[in-house]
Amino acid sequence: MMKIVTIVGARPQFVKAAVVSRALKKVGIEEILTHTGQHFDKNMSDVFFGEMQIPKPKYNLEISNLSHGAMTGRMLEAIEAIMIREKPDLLLVYGDTNSTLAGALAASKLNIPVAHVEAGLRSYNNKMPEEINRILTDRMSSILFCPTETAVKNLKKEGYDNYDCRIVNCGDVMQDAAMFYAGISDQQSTIIERMQLNKKPFVLATIHRQENTDDILKLRNIFDALNEINSTANIVLPLHPRTRKIIAEAGIKTSFETMDPVGYLDMIQLLKNCNIVLTDSGGLQKEAFFFKKHCITLREETEWIELVEHGYNVLAGNDRSKILDNYQTMLTKTSDFSQNLYGNGHSSETIAELLAELLAEI
């Protein structure tokens, strides 16, 4: 039987794995799911495996709350041991986290092929740890599953046609997940009623990127803007544990109550019912588009440039005035969300079928 080891460690990877793991099972591939523990909080991890019916990881490394170097190094060591024990035909990784890089490094040093889902994305900001992780992972990968034509072009521009690898535009598995879980969310999530969010408009916000959280001036500017927006519309902010700790230590005050991170089904309901999204997350920018919401990105650049080019998303960085100005503009903007930017909702099947085909040849 064909066997792969899959590495996950953070919320977006759990979402992607939920749909791809289901597709892998259908084509007869044995999957050894390994959770590095990078997102260790129950609301950032355990809830996803339960509500999304993701197979329980065979291995949970519980490696978190360390510096980038220490975390990646410990993951590399642990994943290498798993690879030696399991002897997989291939390693599958997602996105751009330390877990992604550690998995790719471990496999490449053992001459095990690497497949990278969400390959080819570029922000062109090398100060972002995620940018370094995705570039290095792409270079070590034998199969590059790109979510957009832009991602394919990025790889070709970097000379990947000259490398021994296969580039595939499979579409975005996040769209598969959004489509699959939207109906389930309607049936199971009660967050809107529970929080009485159906009584007046609200704005959904998330903040967790290191480029914002590690610069207190930037973080203050963002929260100043959120506090101002909250005077006319409720701010709903599921707060990453690390961000919560930083704002407490910095004495940053909010005019609204923050909440703990929420599961995917609750997040879908928040997206469906909010007026607009403010975020520094990569995944939430797309999820906003999937649920027909405009987005203000609290960064100076984005990997999802097609959203900006088509007017669904705007880059506001951490400038208070720019955030507020763009909020007013985007709040009343109307857009046609019917454009097909990320595939047809069958990306996971494309990935599974191609992996089955390739592994059968090994």
Per the annotation, the verdict on 208 as an active-site residue is: yes
CA-CA distance, 118 to 79, in Å (whole number)?
Answer: 21
Asked if 88 and 9 count as a contact pair (C-beta separation under 8 A), the reply is no
DSSP 160: G
Asked if 1 and 28 count as a contact pair (C-beta separation under 8 A), the reply is yes
Spatial CB neighbours of 14, under 8 Å, sequence gap ≥ 6: 8, 45, 48, 49, 52, 54, 264
What H or E segment, with its residue span, contains residue 116?
Answer: strand 114-117
Choosing from 208, 240, 294, 310, which is the catalytic residue?
208
- Provide the residue count of the chain: 362
Interior/surface letters 31-45, b for 16+ CB within 10 angstroms, e for the rest: bbbbbbbbbbeebbb
Q: Which two tokens mark 211?
A: 């480029």
DSSP 303: S
Residue type, 103: G
Q: Which two tokens mark 59?
A: 């291995």
CA-CA distance, 159 to 212, in Å (whole number)?
Answer: 32
Give the active site residues. Answer: 208
